[in-house]
Amino acid sequence: MNVLIFDSNEKLNEAGANIITGLVQTNPRAVLGLATGGTPVGVYEQIVKDYKRGLVSFRGVTSFNLDEYVGLPVDHPESYRSYMNHHLFRHIDIPAEQTHIPNGNAEDPEAECRRYDELIAEAGQIDLQLLGLGHNGHIGFNEPAHALIRGTHVVDLAEETRRANARFFNSIDEVPKQAMTMGVGTILKAKTILLIVRGADKAEIVHRALTGPITTDCPASLLQTHPHLVVLLDREAGRLMA
């Protein structure tokens, strides 16, 4: 585990972007696992800047997003397809057909989960998986539970998760109650995992996830078992790790 703590968001964003663009520069056909939410926005902005400066091309890259809300129209501004288009995809040269996000509106959700896992398997091992961290220790939308599901699956979102995401909607009533998420087993198969966490409100869960017991009650604690985990924290999120 390599934990780095930054005094500014600018430096953190640059570090995160450098890890991703550096991988793509050395492996133009890299398979990226991507995340959404507030945490990676600055990293994506820096990646776009690097692309526009001609430092990197994503033409050969394949991407798989961690998750998508169930029942939210794909063109809804808070769908994760809309998010990725807005913050990254439309600003770089990655072909649309090489970007993959679970279909949260599939008629047969279980079949869609199987399809998504098959696509990931066909692409080969994910070279780098980008993650954020939920207040309750979730990664992707893998919520705390007695047991965690290995592959892509539909999950009932914890109320704490829905409250945290309500800031992106007009009210919590608009936040979907389910999501389709990549499983912890798939996440842990990635060659490298890049975990980015910001904010004082995440300090305790960061410490618990990275130094506490490994338990499905804190899904992120399973990251301790990964052979190549890189953690980027701002000063506030890392205050208990120093």
Q: Is 136 a catalytic residue?
A: yes
Bridge partners of residue 197, in order along the sequence: 233
Does the annotation count 127 as an active-site position? no
67, 68, 112, 117: the active-site residue? 67
Specify whether 138 is catalytic. Answer: yes
Q: Is 143 a catalytic residue?
A: yes
Indicate which residue of 87, 100, 138, 153 is catalytic: 138
Active-site choice (143, 153, 165, 226)? 143
Q: Vertex 131, ends 120 and 107: CA angle to 5°?
A: 45
The pairing of beta strand 178-181 with beta strand 67-69: antiparallel
Active-site residue, from 45, 85, 136, 204: 136
Which residues are the active-site residues?
67, 136, 138, 143
